[in-house]
Amino acid sequence: MAYENVVVNHEEQYSIITINRPKQMNALNKQTIEELHDALTKLNADENVRAVIITGSGEKAFVAGADIKEFANFNISEGTELAARGHELLFDFVENFNKPVIAAVNGFALGGGLELAMACHIRVASYNAKLGLPETGLGLIPGYGGTQRLARLIGHGRAIEMITTAQMIDAERAHEMGLVNHLYTADELMTEAVNLVKKMLKNSPNALKSAIRSVNAGYRTGIDGYKVEIEEFGKCFGTKDFVEGTTAFLEKRKPSF
Outline where 46-155 has alpha helix (H).
76-86, 92-95, 112-119, 146-154
Which one of 35, 95, 115, 192 is the catalytic residue?
115
In degrees to the nearest 10, what's the CA dihedral of 119, 44, 5, 83?
-40
Where does residue 215 rank: exposed (0-12), middle (13-18), buried (19+ CB within 10 A)? middle
Q: How far apart are CA 170 and CA 184, in angstroms?
A: 13
Does residue 81 have an active-site annotation?
no
Does residue 172 have an active-site annotation?
no
Other C-beta atoms closer than 10 Å to the C-beta of 149 total: 22
Cα dist. 148→103, 151, 222, 239, 247 in Å? 18, 6, 15, 34, 41
Which one of 35, 95, 135, 232 is the catalytic residue?
135
DSSP H or E run through 45: helix 30-45
Catalytic positions are 115, 135
